[in-house]
Amino acid sequence: GAGVSQSPSNKVTEKGKDVELRCDPISGHTALYWYRQSLGQGLEFLIYFQGNSAPDKSGLPSDRFSAERTGGSVSTLTIQRTQQEDSAVYLCASSPQGSMNTEAFFGQGTRLTVV
């Protein structure tokens, strides 16, 4: 596709349920990022995939959060046993491999509401 695609755009879930958020990066982009945006908190880094390298998971807030990237393309962010504090906009971005001066291209995000 022309840009980074995220689905669903909105998700309302009950506390304690598991959710899966999907990201389709721009074709050919080897780097993929997940961020969380909460009101007044800016962009919080969650996880970073680069090609076949081991992902940088240093931003995942707890072991309830996990992410995978299949075939170097589509990525899924999974939140288990959701809590109300997980409510936020989850943003995915992708970037071409190569030089450090390339920017990341963002999707529209998934707005997660835990009730």
Partner 1 sequence: AQSVTQLGSHVSVSEGALVLLRCNYSSSVPPYLFWYVQYPNQGLQLLLKYTSAATLVKGINGFEAEFKKSETSFHLTKPSAHMRDAAEYFCAVRGGGADGLTFGKGTHLIIQP
Where along the sequence are the contacts to partner 1 (CB under 8 A)? Answer: 31, 33, 35, 40-43, 45, 48, 50, 56, 91, 93, 95, 100-101, 103-109
Least distance in Å: CB of 22 to partner 1?
A: 16
Residue 67 phi, psi dihedral angles, 5° rounding? -150, 150
Least spacing, CB of residue 46 vs partner 1, in Å: 10
Residue closer to partner 1 (CB basis): 91 or 114: 91
Min dist. Cβ of residue 16 to partner 1 (A): 29
Q: Which residues pair with 37 in a beta bridge?
A: 43, 89
Question: Closest Cα partner for 21 from 31, 11, 29?
Answer: 11
Distance CA 32, CA 97 (A): 10
Q: Closer to partner 1 at the Cβ: 1 or 14?
A: 1
The terminus-to-terminus CA distance of the chain in angstroms comes to: 33
Query: Which is nearer to partner 1, 74 or 104 (by Cβ)?
Result: 104
Please identify, using beta-carbon distances, which residue of 50 and 76 lies nearer to partner 1: 50
- Closest approach of Cβ 104 to partner 1, in Å? 5
Write the single-letter amino acid at 81.
Answer: R
- Residue 59 CA to residue 26 CA, distance in Å, equals 23
